[in-house]
């Protein structure tokens, strides 16, 4: 076969996926006899039987199954190309589905998007904030275009670029023995109870790792779902806590710089490698990762 009409391949793809000529014809907007003729022509061109009859349905033969996998990939690339061309004409008027950690929602994400919209005002955003495990799963399922997470995701196929570091802080109640200090070694609170986050949160993983580096395992008295709960429980005497910069400015707690071990977490932007990314999402990714982006400035602790 030297050439095959794209239309024949599309007919084969839909018929192979549905394995029913009538339903495939309805989806393609053609008649059943016309579809049957197209499939017969394709089989004749290829010189291979792609289907076998099974009552009112059809079933792919083994060669048909192999060819369908190739056709789906090939037509998928063509579909992506069409979307890219459509995006190219309207790159600055598209939409971006953006996921991020809850602790980045207080200042970093809204300010970053505000600055991006100053140069690309017509790009719209759909926001999702959750813990690392959840937004990474949503990215993998294709529900999100881009996500901001701490440290590179441990999944095959993820792209990740570092955009800045967050300085983590130890918070203690105002009446705590260390409250008047400006900085502290984490080993100074080895015997204290901790208020932390539930498993699956990036900060919880960092808390456990930092305490381990300081030579102890933290005793967790309360596990929070979001950063707004941690200062309240610390202030109420449930323990001390390690929080990102956005969660430290509460009147009833004292914030101490952790000087040992180094308490910084890298923040990066992640996407799925090899998956189509809209032109609008690419514009935002380029804005975030360029040297002139405000990402590092926004992540710095005041």
| Structural tokens at position 252 | 């009833």
The pLDDT tens digits for 144-155 are 999 999 877 777
Evaluate if residue 164 carries a pLDDT over 70.
yes
| Structural tokens at position 257 | 């710089």
6-89 folds as Arc Repressor Mutant, subunit A (1.10.10)
What is the pLDDT averaged over residues 52-60? 85
Share of the chain above pLDDT 70, in %: 89
Nearest to 256 by CA among 165, 189, 164: 189
Given a contact cutoff of 8 angstroms between Cβ atoms, the answer to whether 193 and 221 are in contact is yes
169-262 folds as D-Maltodextrin-Binding Protein; domain 2 (3.40.190)
Given a contact cutoff of 8 angstroms between Cβ atoms, the answer to whether 50 and 39 are in contact is yes
Nearest to 155 by CA among 4, 290, 252, 273: 273
Evaluate if residue 156 carries a pLDDT over 80.
no
Q: What is the average pLDDT value for the chain, to the nearest integer?
A: 86
What is the pLDDT averaged over residues 217-233? 88
CATH number of the domain at 91-163+271-299, out of 1.20.1060.10, 3.40.190.10, 2.40.50.100, 3.30.460.10? 3.40.190.10
Low-confidence winner among 30-34, 51-55, 97-101, 179-183 (lowest mean pLDDT): 51-55
Q: How far, in Å, CA of 160 to CA of 187, rounded?
A: 32
Which pLDDT belongs to residue 184?
A: 95
Q: How far, in Å, CA of 263 to CA of 244, rounded?
A: 10
Secondary structure (3-state) at 86: helix
Answer left, alpha or beta for residue 273, where phi above 0 means left and psi between -120 and 50 means alpha: beta
Which pLDDT belongs to residue 92?
A: 54
The pLDDT tens digits for 261-293 are 999 888 899 999 988 888 889 999 999 988 555
For the entire predicted model, the pTM comes to 0.60
- Residue extents of the structural domains in the chain: 6-89, 91-163+271-299, 169-262
Q: Do domains 6-89 and 169-262 have the same CATH topology?
A: no
Secondary structure (3-state) at 46: helix
The pLDDT tens digits for 108-146 are 899 999 999 998 998 999 999 988 888 998 998 889 999
Q: How far, in Å, CA of 170 to CA of 184, rounded?
A: 8
Q: What is the band of 93 on the pLDDT scale with cuts at 50, 70, 90?
A: low
Cβ neighbors of 299 (< 8 A, separation 6 or more) are 108, 163, 164, 165, 166, 267
Burial class of residue 69 (count of CB atoms within 10 Å of its CB; 0-12, 13-18, 19+): exposed
The one-character DSSP state at 240 is: B
What is the pLDDT averaged over residues 84-108? 76
Q: What is the band of 1 on the pLDDT scale with cuts at 50, 70, 90?
A: very low
Nearest to 4 by CA among 60, 71, 49: 71
Q: What is the band of 99 on the pLDDT scale with cuts at 50, 70, 90?
A: very high
């Amino acid at each position: 076969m030297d050439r095959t009409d794209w239309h024949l391949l599309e007919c084969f793809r839909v018929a192979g996926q549905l394995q029913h000529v009538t339903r495939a014809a309805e989806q393609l907007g053609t008649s059943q006899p016309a579809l049957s003729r197209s499939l017969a022509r394709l089989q004749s061109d290829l010189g291979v039987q792609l289907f076998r009859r099974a009552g009112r349905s059809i079933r792919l033969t083994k060669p048909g199954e192999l060819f369908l996998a190739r056709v789906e990939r090939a037509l998928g690339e063509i579909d992506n190309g069409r979307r890219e061309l459509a995006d190219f004409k309207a790159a600055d008027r598209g939409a971006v589905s953006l996921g991020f950690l809850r602790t980045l929602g207080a200042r970093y994400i809204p300010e970053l998007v505000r600055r991006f919209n100053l140069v690309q005002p017509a790009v719209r955003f759909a926001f999702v904030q959750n813990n690392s495990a959840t937004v990474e799963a949503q990215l993998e399922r294709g529900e999100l275009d881009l996500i901001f997470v701490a440290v590179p995701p441990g999944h095959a196929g993820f792209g990740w670029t570092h955009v800045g570091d967050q300085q983590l802080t130890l918070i203690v109640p105002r009446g705590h023995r260390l409250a008047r200090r400006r900085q502290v070694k984490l080993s100074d609170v080895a015997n204290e109870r901790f208020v932390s986050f539930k498993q699956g949160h990036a900060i919880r993983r960092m808390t456990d790792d930092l305490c381990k580096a300081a030579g102890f395992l933290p005793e967790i008295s309360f596990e929070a779902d979001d950063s707004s709960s941690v200062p309240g429980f610390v202030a109420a005497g449930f323990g001390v806590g390690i929080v990102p910069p956005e969660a430290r400015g509460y009147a009833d707690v004292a914030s101490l710089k952790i000087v040992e071990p180094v308490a910084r977490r890298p923040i990066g932007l992640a996407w799925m490698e090899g998956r189509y990314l809209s032109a609008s999402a690419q514009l935002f990714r380029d804005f975030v990762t360029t040297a002139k982006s405000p990402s590092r400035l926004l992540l710095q602790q005041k």
